Amino acid sequence: MTPTGEAGGDLSWATTFLFVPGARPDRFARAAASGADVVVLDLEDGVAPSERTFARQEVAAWLAAGNDAVVRISATGTEDQVADLAALGGTSPAVMLAKAESAADVEAVTATLGPGTEVVALVESARGLLGAGAIAAAPGVRRMALGNVDLASALGVDPNDRTTLLAARSMLVLASSAAGLTGPVDGVTTMIDDVELIRSDADHAASLGFRGKLCIHPRQVAAAAQGFAPTAAQVAWAERVVETGAQGGARAVDGAMVDRPVEVRARDILCRAQRRPVN
């Protein structure tokens, strides 16, 4: 994958990740034109088992034609993943690893596709959560992502109740930060057309330290991006904080104490507003 290529995006700052079933090549171009930072061509749950061979052929052809995308591949240890990786050989894509549960799961993928492979590790189980720190630190991992629907099903909780997966989300944020990664990518909002809910879900995830969201339809992309974008008031505050940075040490901005950690947060807000990685 070209890190800054169209519809492939730079994984270090990408906010919106749009899934497209690999068996629907008629949707690939529309997804690439949707405004999503990253298009995720799906070879896993979004494709019926009977269509996976066809999907692999179509995804490989799309990439071979010079188009950019991340490819969601099946879990390590499955026959489907073996077939996925065989189909992708020579295309050098970034991959989203479904059901990541250990650093070894990641290493099995990068050993096959090559050491330069970029990986988005999708955590969808309790085992994956408990191994999140090691997964995030594994060579090749660029972002962590939450598979909220699968995880909620495994835990027997409602994925639409924000309190049920609060601990899980916090664990991914901590694991990402400890590994020096950009904040993780939040899971899907299953209500396709509820724009306000999508925006609200994204805003909630952003408040927890997430920096992106998985989308399942082009109509979700703009609302998700809006939910992660800093508000005008936040940007104005951040600019005032950074402007006083030359003073050094602790100082007051808007009547509140500001020191180095607050300035770091202000710079993060400005970088997100300008859609670029944090330096």
User: Are the C-beta atoms of residues 187 and 216 closer than 8 Å to each other?
Assistant: no
Helices 79-88 and 103-113: angle between axes, nearest 10 degrees: 40
Look at residue 250 in the predicted model and tell me its pLDDT.
80
Which pLDDT tens digit goes with each residue over 82-109? 999 999 987 877 999 999 999 999 999 9
Look at residue 9 in the predicted model and tell me its pLDDT.
57
- The reply, when asked if residue 124 is annotated as ligand binding, is yes
The rounded mean pLDDT for the chain is 91
Q: Which of 74-78, 138-142, 228-232 has the lowest mean pLDDT?
A: 228-232
For 148, residues 6+ apart whose C-beta sits below 8 A from its C-beta are 159, 165, 168, 186, 187, 188
- Which candidate, 59, 79, 171, places its Cα nearest to that of 125? 171
- Compute the distance between CA of residue 68 and CA of residue 22 in angstroms, rounded to an integer: 14
- The reply, when asked if residue 211 is annotated as ligand binding, is no
Q: Is the pLDDT of residue 8 over 80?
A: no
Secondary structure (3-state) at 21: strand
Q: Which of 91-95, 116-120, 146-150, 216-220 has the lowest mean pLDDT?
A: 91-95
- The reply, when asked if residue 72 is annotated as ligand binding, is yes
In Å, how far are 70, 148, 194 from 197, measured between CA atoms? Answer: 26, 16, 5
Look at residue 3 in the predicted model and tell me its pLDDT.
35
Look at residue 184 in the predicted model and tell me its pLDDT.
98
Q: Which CATH number is associated with domain 16-229?
A: 3.20.20.60
Structure tokens belonging to residue 122: 């999708």
Which pLDDT tens digit goes with each residue over 256-266? 888 888 888 88
Q: Is the pLDDT of residue 4 over 50?
A: no
Q: Where are the domains of the chain?
A: 16-229, 233-275
Look at residue 242 in the predicted model and tell me its pLDDT.
86
What average pLDDT does this structure show over 130-141?
A: 98
Helix (H), strand (E) at residue 124: none
Where would I find the H helices in the chain? 28-32, 52-64, 79-88, 103-113, 126-130, 132-137, 148-155, 166-178, 195-208, 218-228, 232-243, 260-273
Query: What's the residue count for the chain?
Result: 279
Q: Which of 65-69, 140-144, 184-188, 239-243 has the lowest mean pLDDT?
A: 239-243
Which pLDDT tens digit goes with each residue over 146-177? 999 999 999 999 999 999 999 999 999 999 99
